[in-house]
């Protein structure tokens, strides 16, 4: 990467440094941290491009889906966030294609030129080629997904109160969560506690024994990235909540309300929540040879895309094997994206000054998962916690990871209400479709 050349103004000794234009595609953990830190340096003009006009916090999507948080608690508009930053702009529009030779990207709202381009687009749901699962399951990747799942569950509850056939009621009330990672564990645990503490009061017409929650995974363990101790404790807690955990059960198909597994077993349900896998988002315009495992973009120790000096990738979408502690690539976690965004923001001014950049080294701060109220596990460097201590740590980390003080206050309030009452009043069925006018 070549440093920027100064341009002298005629008749003056002042040196005018034209700002370099940095275009960031994706406003998730990596993109927002890069934009925020780099905006402090007026040598750069920054444009953040995203298909949504807001940043949101994916680890808490399941609480929106279960009615414990409002969507606005975990979201914040980009334009409001950028109001006080004179060199930072937002452009609404989905990315369509990059033209590296022209230093240009095409979005659904127009073309944008760049000096440096950063992809921070994250991942999308991976259905592993199962078309029926893609069409019929409910994913958990976006705010829209979370709201759709909340509507879906509440509608089925209402339908079940009017259904006389016990078999049909059982089908309406059974929920299968595919994927026993942190998201799958958290959403199934939350649903189980809701059935124990809330739904029995909201829906007295329904019997507890008619409700069944299944957590299924193709692997032989839950929380595969975490320690064996956390896996065993989590499995015991899940079963204690009445969840039927089916390990070594790979979903093969889902149609006509029947989940079929590779071992031939089936479950009848109207709800399959898919948290089982992710894949990197497509980046048309980049050559095929820059894509590695899981379609992740190959990058060097400075997050530069293979074969390019002015195109970068950070977060879940990139694959870096240059970190000595992670020769097989980094885990697809929020902390990786945050740290890569901040490191890249540190390096951009160094490149302008023709100074050696700092290679990325991931600092593992641990992994945690919440199972229910006062039920959680946490694997921190050299330490393991469970129960209330892990639950408290999870709350603190996630609360202070929210992007703005406003979000933190509103989320904290909702959590306190839920903690003391074991209830929340956000169980609305909100249909975005307009009502038909009355005649």
Chain-centre distance for alpha carbon 258? 28
Name every residue whose Cβ is closer than 8 Å to that of residue 52 and which is 6 or more positions away in sequence: 27, 92, 143
List the beta bridge partners of residue 110: 107
Closest CA to 340 of 392, 303, 383, 304: 303
pLDDT of residue 6: 41
pLDDT of residue 413: 86
- Rounded to whole angstroms, how far apart are CA atoms 438 and 430? 19
List the beta bridge partners of residue 330: none
pLDDT of residue 373: 87
Dmax (CA) of the chain: 89
- Rounded to whole angstroms, how far apart are CA atoms 177 and 23? 37
Tokens 């703005």 belong to residue:
404
pLDDT in tens, the chain (439 residues): 444 444 433 443 334 468 999 999 999 999 999 999 999 999 999 999 999 999 999 999 999 999 888 999 999 999 999 999 999 999 999 999 999 999 999 999 999 999 999 999 999 999 999 999 999 999 999 999 999 999 999 999 999 999 999 999 999 999 999 999 999 999 999 999 888 888 888 888 888 778 899 999 999 999 998 999 999 999 999 999 999 999 999 999 999 999 999 999 999 999 999 999 899 999 999 999 999 988 999 999 999 999 999 999 999 999 999 999 999 999 999 999 999 999 999 999 999 999 999 999 999 999 999 998 899 999 999 999 999 999 999 999 999 888 888 888 988 888 888 777 777 767 888 776 655 544 4
- Rounded to whole angstroms, how far apart are CA atoms 377 and 233? 8
416, HSE (Cβ side, Cα atoms, 13 Å)? 7
Helix, strand, coil percent values for the chain (each to nearest 5): 35, 25, 40
Closest CA to 320 of 308, 309, 307, 306: 306
CB 126 within 8 A of CB 279: yes
- Rounded to whole angstroms, how far apart are CA atoms 320 and 301? 7
Please give the angle made by the CA atoms of 317, 250 and 384, to the nearest 5 degrees: 65
List of domains in the chain: 17-51+93-125+279-352 (3.50.50.60), 131-276+366-421 (3.50.50.100)
- Rounded to whole angstroms, how far apart are CA atoms 258 and 253? 8
CB 116 within 8 A of CB 310: yes
């Amino acid at each position: 990467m070549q440093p920027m050349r100064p341009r002298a103004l005629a008749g003056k000794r002042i040196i005018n440094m034209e700002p370099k234009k940095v275009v960031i595609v994706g406003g998730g953990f990596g993109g927002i941290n890069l934009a925020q830190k780099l905006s402090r340096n007026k040598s750069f003009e920054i444009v953040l491009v995203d298909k949504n006009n807001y940043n949101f916090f994916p680890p808490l999507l399941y609480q929106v889906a279960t009615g414990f948080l409002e969507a606005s608690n975990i979201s914040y508009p980009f334009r409001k966030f950028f109001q006080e930053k004179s060199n930072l702009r937002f452009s609404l529009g989905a990315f369509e294609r990059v033209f590296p030779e022209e230093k240009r990207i095409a979005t659904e709202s127009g073309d944008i030129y760049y000096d440096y381009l950063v992809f921070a687009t994250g991942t999308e749901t991976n259905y592993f080629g199962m078309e029926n699962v893609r069409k019929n399951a409910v994913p958990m990747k976006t705010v829209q997904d979370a709201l759709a799942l909340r509507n879906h569950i509440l509608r089925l509850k209402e339908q079940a109160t009017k259904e006389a056939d016990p078999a049909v009621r059982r089908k309406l009330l059974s929920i299968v969560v595919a994927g026993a990672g942190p998201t799958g564990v958290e959403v199934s645990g939350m649903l189980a506690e809701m059935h124990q503490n809330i739904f029995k009061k909201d829906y007295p017409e329904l019997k507890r024994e008619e409700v069944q929650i299944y957590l299924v995974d193709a692997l032989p363990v839950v929380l595969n990235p975490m320690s064996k101790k956390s896996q065993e404790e989590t499995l015991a807690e899940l079963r204690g909540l009445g969840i039927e955990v089916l390990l070594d059960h790979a979903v093969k198909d889902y149609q006509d309300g029947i989940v079929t597994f590779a071992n031939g077993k089936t479950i009848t349900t109207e709800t399959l929540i898919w948290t089982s896998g992710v894949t990197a988002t497509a980046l048309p315009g980049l050559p095929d040879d820059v894509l590695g495992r899981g379609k992740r973009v190959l990058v060097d120790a400075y997050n530069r895309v293979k074969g390019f000096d002015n195109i970068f990738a950070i977060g879940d979408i990139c694959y870096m094997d240059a970190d000595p502690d992670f020769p097989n690539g980094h885990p697809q976690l929020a902390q990786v994206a945050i740290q890569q965004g901040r490191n890249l923001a540190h390096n951009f001014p160094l490149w302008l000054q023709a100074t050696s950049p700092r290679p990325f080294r991931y600092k593992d701060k641990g992994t945690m998962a919440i199972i229910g109220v006062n039920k959680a596990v946490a694997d921190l460097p050299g330490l393991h916690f469970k129960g209330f201590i892990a639950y408290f740590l999870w709350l603190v980390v996630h609360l202070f990871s929210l992007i703005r003080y406003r979000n933190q206050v509103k989320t904290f309030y909702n959590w306190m209400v839920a903690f003391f009452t074991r209830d929340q009043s956000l169980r609305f069925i909100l249909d975005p479709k307009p009502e038909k006018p009355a005649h």
